[in-house]
Amino acid sequence: MTNLSSLVDLKNGTISREIFVNDEIFKQELGQIFSRAWLFIGHEDLVPNPDDYFVSRMGTDSVILTRDRQNKINVLLNSCMHRGMKVCRYDQGNTRAFTCPYHGWSYSTDGRLVEVPGELVGVPGFGPYYHEKLDKKNWGLIYCPKVVNYKGTIWATWDANAPDFLDYLGDMKVYLDAALDHRDGSPGGSEMIGGVQKWRVKCNWKFAPENFIGDMYHDISHRSVDLVGIGPSGGKGRRDKTIGRTTVSFDDLGHGIIGTLPYREEFPYQETFKNHPEIEDYLKEVYDRRLKNLGDRLRVNTSVGTIFPNMSFHGRQPRTIAVFHPISPTEMEMWRIFLVDRDSPQALKDAARHYYMRYSGPGGMTESDDLENWQYATEASAGHVARRYHYNYQMGMGYAEPVPELRGAWNNGEYSEGNARAYYKRYLEFMEGRDWDGLMAASRAHGEARSDA
């Protein structure tokens, strides 16, 4: 097992390229991080009806997100317990049972038939060849012991001892809420537009979540897109301007954002769809409702955020969720899900969909810039000589200030690598194999969450 403390040097702000290209370290990540951390699985809109399923990933494992006939959401390992065959080879659909095409073992999620999700209900030859001696209850599909539906987003962990999801999230919750809640400030209410965009990129999976949480100075990469102007109304820039923008890290949890510090008085209304008067009228009405709904309650704006280890999101326009699934040290599978308020007019949904697609996804102009950087950085770091050297993460070291309204949060300033250092601090803690008491001790020492946060 590779000792990582010399590779992730947080005291000096340098990180070895090995953690981005090394196969042994990648295997450790699968065991220490992806087998234990809370992972984003999908959105409830992917399984709206009983017997619906959607095939997702947890690390390199294929998993099936299902909604059973009792309306419970489950996450099952997509591998037959007999010979390991995938019991589900479609991306999405509706079925009452998952039947392995190899030998016909059949698994059900229907609580009327079974006691646990994915229980083995049908075995060919159970009577004549197994002589009814096969203990079917012990040979069901492996299922995640902890699954949470948080405002429509589905999260799961393989580790039964993992803390509750909200503990894992900490006060990062307020920033995730800002992405998932209705624009008028009421809880929840967002829905998916279309399906999940999926594509593979020849880069290490960590480039993306790191890039999403504070790498403001890489905007030079997007210079051409900014000049062209791909914003909602085709103006200059790529997305809504975030007034009061900074970067905030949750150093004990590894999460981080680009956005605002907590505030109580709403910023002035900004027009974002100037070419669409109908949409603009609706958004102004939503803004007025937001003023009324939130009053002087604490609030934040999230431009971009990352939940450790591999889920990121855009909180405003565009509103999307991105997931970075590890495939190998030098390849990841990236997913994008696009969100909009469920009750917004169709005109907004259509305009948002067009804007989101020209911004993000495999054909998105901003995304293309990023993918090129991550891919060539990975390739150039894998060389025999190149991998001897460390990356530099020293920007803004020693200049962070605590955010008093939020537990364990640090304001790193708009241009800083503080968020990345926090992310890799958490990465190191997981990779060292700390147990959950060790992993959560610092966060728990900050006490209870704010009641109005």
Q: Which residues bind other proteins (CB under 8 A)?
A: 95-97, 99, 101, 104, 106, 108, 112-113, 121-122, 124-125, 127
The 10 Å Cβ neighbour count of residue 160 is 8
Least distance to other proteins, CB of residue 87, Å: 10
- Gyration radius of the chain's alpha carbons: 23
- Cβ proximity to other proteins: between 27 and 96 the closer is 96
By beta-carbon proximity to other proteins, the closer residue of 88 and 348 is 88
For residue 97, the minimal CB distance to other proteins (Å) is 5
Strand order in the sheet with 119-122: 97-99, 106-108, 119-122
Report how far residue 309's alpha carbon sits from residue 322's, in angstroms, rounded to the nearest whole number. 12
Pairwise CA distance, residues 25 & 368, whole Å = 27
Tell me how far, at minimum, the Cβ of 69 lies from other proteins, in Å: 11
SS3 28: helix
- Shortest Cβ distance from residue 317 to other proteins (Å)? 42
Would you say 90 or 376 has its CB closer to other proteins?
90
* Sign of the alpha-carbon torsion through 453, 398, 395, 20: negative
**Closest CB to other proteins among 97 and 294?**
97
- Neighbouring C-beta atoms of residue 316, cutoff 10 Å: 19
Q: Minimum distance between the CB of residue 89 and other proteins, rounded to whole angstroms? A: 12
**Smaller CB separation from other proteins, 97 or 134:** 97
Amino acid at 163: P
Q: In the numeric block, which tokens belong to residue 365? A: 């102009």
d(CA 110, CA 94): 13
Given the structure tokens 């959950």, which residue do they identify? 436
CB 58 to other proteins: min, Å: 25
Nearest approach in angstroms of CB 92 to other proteins is 16
Which CB atom, from 106 or from 375, has the smaller least distance to other proteins?
A: 106
Q: Residue 90 Cβ, how far from other proteins at the closest point, in Å? A: 11
C-beta of 92 vs 149, nearer to other proteins: 92
**CB burial string 173-203: b at 16+ within 10 A, e below:** bbbbbbbbbbbbbeeebbbbbeebbeeebeb
**Three-state SS at 108:** strand
Nearer to other proteins, 99 or 242 (CB): 99
| CB 65, CB 82: distance < 8 Å | no
Structure tokens at 224: 């051409």
Q: Is the dihedral of CA 361, 362, 364, 369 positive or negative?
A: positive
| CA–CA distance, 319 with 303 (Å, rounded to integer) | 9
